[in-house]
Amino acid sequence: MNRWTKVIGTGGYLPPIIRTNDDISSMVDTSDSWIYERTGIKSRRIAGPEETASSMAEIAARQAIDMAGIAATDIDMIIVATGTPERVYPSTACLLQERLGIKHAVGFDIQAACSGSVYGLSIADQYIKTGFANNVLVVGSEICSRIVDWSDRSTCILFGDGAGAILLTAGTEPGILSTHIHSDGGYEDLLYCPNPQVAAEAKQHELAFISMRGNEVFKVAVNTLGRIVDETLAANGLQQSDIDWLVPHQANTRIIAATAKKLGMSMDQVILTLENQGNTSSASVLLAFNEGVRDGRIQGGQTVLMEAFGAGFTWGSVLLRY
């Protein structure tokens, strides 16, 4: 009998502090209209000084566990996607494991920038299908505000903080239909964040923040996400019309609209959280999926396409039947 990976719980957390475009316009030379027209963002959430990647991950994870109706101790693997851990080691997954009171699970972090949650889901799917794990918790948790230069207009308008979680289990009915992940390090200089320790040693404070060549990233992202859509549909013998929902990485409304157009989908079939969350990097896909599930738009039996693109470049997709 085939083992499939099924979704049994979702969760999300957004910090209470809201930073609007007007707030940012008091910090750099910009305006609400300028930001919104170019990105689709109106506001974003900012983590408080006491919050960490693991503390936010815990809140999102507990929501997913509650929805699933299992005990935290039933989880045998924890995968956390983050580029903003509070410690280099132990991993954020181990810190989350301790917060959840789980003693007998394996936990590890992955770093794939904005594609992190998609990578995490792909890894979890392999472990469940091969029988190595039964219940896997995947979390994307990011405090992007701490690696953004708030005097750089090109990047500070884009990012926000938050955590998304999904709980997966082994089942006998199709759930995750396929995953597809890729990377190409040849684009390393278009979007990156240096190691803050290296920057500190070099006494180059400005190097500790996200750096992006936005126009070039945009062009590659649109073309790459178009190809991943084709790859995913072909692998499953599906047509564009077979997809009920698109749950994209929340980076820019123009990129998202281009992917929807590729699928022949209206924006009404796209889960959008960008306007009031900004780009939460690896958390964004899981936050959007959680919102779509909890507000009732995503229903049982529907087919959902998740896709993401991030620094590296990394990119990937997950096709699942909810």
Any bridge partners for residue 270, and if so which?
246
Whether residue 222 sits in one domain with residue 162: no
The least confident of 138-142, 217-221, 293-297 is 217-221
Nearest to 289 by CA among 305, 276, 277, 278: 305
Whether residue 202 sits in one domain with residue 59: no
Residues tagged active-site: 114, 249, 279
Total number of domains constituting the chain: 2
Whether residue 216 sits in one domain with residue 148: no
Nearest to 218 by CA among 179, 169, 253: 253
Give me the chain's average pLDDT, please: 94
Task: Determine what percent of the chain is predicted with pLDDT higher than 70.
Answer: 97
Whether residue 39 sits in one domain with residue 70: yes
C-alpha 152/C-alpha 80 separation (Å) is 29
- On whether the CB atoms of residues 33 and 22 are closer than 8 A, the answer is no
- CATH number of residue 73's parent domain: 3.40.47.10
Residue 240 predicted with pLDDT over 70: yes
Whether residue 315 sits in one domain with residue 243: yes
Residue finishing a domain among 113, 146, 173: 173
Give the confidence band of 204 by pLDDT, cuts at 50, 70, 90: low
| pLDDT tens-digit series, residues 131-161 | 999 999 999 999 999 999 999 999 999 999 9
The mean pLDDT of 3-25, rounded to a whole number, is: 97
Whether residue 191 sits in one domain with residue 168: no
Whether residue 201 sits in one domain with residue 146: no
What is the pLDDT at residue 235? 97
DSSP H or E stretch at residue 129: helix 116-129
| Domain membership of residue 48 as a residue range | 4-173
Residue finishing a domain among 173, 205, 224: 173
Whether residue 143 sits in one domain with residue 214: no
Residue 38 predicted with pLDDT over 60: yes
Higher pLDDT, 61 or 196: 61
The least confident of 116-125, 137-146, 183-192, 197-206 is 197-206
Which residues, 6+ apart, have CB-to-CB distance to 197 below 8 Å? none
Residue finishing a domain among 153, 173, 193: 173
Whether residue 144 sits in one domain with residue 36: yes
Whether residue 301 sits in one domain with residue 253: yes
The mean pLDDT of 78-91, rounded to a whole number, is: 96
Residue 206 predicted with pLDDT over 70: no
Q: Which ranges of 237-298 would DSSP assign to H, the alpha helix?
A: 253-263, 274-277, 284-294
Whether residue 8 sits in one domain with residue 156: yes
Which residues, 6+ apart, have CB-to-CB distance to 28 below 8 Å? 150, 151, 152, 153, 156
